[in-house]
């Protein structure tokens, strides 16, 4: 029952120019997020034209944050010795923790024109729901690329990534994709139940808590990705996830202590 995985990461090429499956799914993740956010905005009476502006800032922030954290936390010796290599993003190397921080900062900067209409936490809550579904595509892209490998397994569900070696490994990319899909369903269910009356910060808090808790657990099935982490008990990804979980728990508690929201778009400006 072992799956022998051999997949060409290049979708199509035109001479020196190639379109990779990863890039296609990465862009697809943002387009999915844009579509969902459009629906949230329209349903709650917020001008949907803001979404395109937000998408641009979110995309730039995510890429910059993900690249910097990968370089500085996963292989600092190399990148501090070769700082210009940080710019070679086409070589791969993006960290989801940095992508999350970059996404939040990008949204904060890009949402300035709409802050008079909706609070920033209102926006983060809706983006959290969309992001949970979007990152499913990113992990599928990692599986297609035979990257972010799982540790070897003797189970029949193991996958042999022929581009790497002949060992059957946990398909941890698919584990994560499944976990994130379930988290997205949970968040969407909460949003549909509460709608405009969703306490500000609640969905964002649950997103941070659930997603990064899942990340901590699933890291035990991954090969350590940091260049210096060979002898470490816990991975760099697990250590980086802890403050995100703590922030998520704080936001859940804080949101439940807030007064009930009004019926205005975004629940008012509180």
Q: What is the pLDDT of residues 103-119, one digit of tens each?
A: 999 999 999 988 888 89
Domain extent, residue 207, equals: 18-257
Encoded tokens for 47? 């001008």
Euclidean distance between CA atoms 207 and 183, whole angstroms: 7
Give the β-pairing of 3-5 and 17-20: unpaired
Specify the pTM.
0.90
Residue 264 lies in a domain: no
Neighbouring C-alpha atoms within 13 Å toward the C-beta of 204: 21
Calpha distance 123→47 (Å, rounded): 13
Instruction: Classify residue 230: in a domain, yes or no.
Output: yes
- Does 2 reside within a domain? no
Residue 41 lies in a domain: yes
pLDDT in tens, 129-175: 999 999 999 999 999 999 999 999 988 889 999 999 989 999 999 99
Residue 192 CB: number of other CB atoms within 10 A?
10
Q: Which segments within the chain are labelled E, that is strand?
A: 3-5, 10-14, 17-20, 159-161, 168-169
pLDDT above 50: residue 264? no
Question: Is there a domain that residue 267 lies in?
Answer: no
Radius of gyration of the chain (CA): 19
Q: d(Cα 21, Cα 3) in Å, to the nearest integer?
A: 20
Distance CA 145, CA 123 (A): 32
Q: Are 10 and 20 in contact (CB under 8 A)?
A: yes
Q: Which two tokens stand for residue 129?
A: 């729901």
d(CA 93, CA 102): 15
In a domain, 251, yes or no: yes
Is position 270 within any domain?
no
9 within domain boundaries? no
The number of folded domains in the chain is: 1
């Amino acid at each position: 029952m072992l799956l022998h995985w051999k997949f060409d990461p290049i979708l199509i090429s035109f001479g020196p120019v190639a379109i990779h499956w990863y890039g296609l799914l990465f862009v697809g993740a943002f387009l999915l997020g844009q579509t969902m956010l459009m629906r949230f905005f329209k349903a709650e009476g917020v001008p949907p034209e803001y979404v395109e502006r937000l998408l641009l800032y979110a995309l730039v922030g995510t890429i910059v944050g993900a690249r910097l954290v990968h370089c500085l936390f996963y292989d600092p010796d190399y990148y501090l010795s070769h700082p210009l290599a940080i710019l070679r993003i086409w070589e791969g190397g993006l960290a989801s923790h940095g992508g999350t921080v970059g996404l939040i900062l990008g949204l904060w900067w890009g949402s300035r024109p709409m802050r008079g209409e909706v609070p920033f936490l209102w926006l983060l809550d809706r983006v959290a729901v969309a992001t949970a579904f979007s990152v499913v595509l990113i992990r599928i892209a990692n599986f297609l690329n035979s990257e972010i490998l799982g540790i070897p397994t003797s189970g029949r569900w193991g996958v042999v990534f022929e581009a790497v070696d002949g060992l059957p490994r946990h398909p941890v990319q698919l584990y994560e994709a499944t976990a994130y899909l379930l988290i997205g369903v949970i968040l969407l269910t909460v949003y549909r139940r509460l709608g405009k009356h969703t306490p500000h910060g609640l969905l964002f808090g649950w997103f941070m808590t659930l997603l990064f808790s899942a990340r901590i657990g699933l890291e035990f099935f991954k090969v350590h990705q940091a260049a210096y982490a060979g002898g470490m008990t816990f991975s760099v990804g697990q250590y980086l996830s802890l403050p995100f979980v703590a922030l998520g728990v704080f936001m859940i508690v804080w949101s439940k202590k807030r007064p009930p929201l009004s019926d205005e778009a975004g629940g008012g400006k509180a």
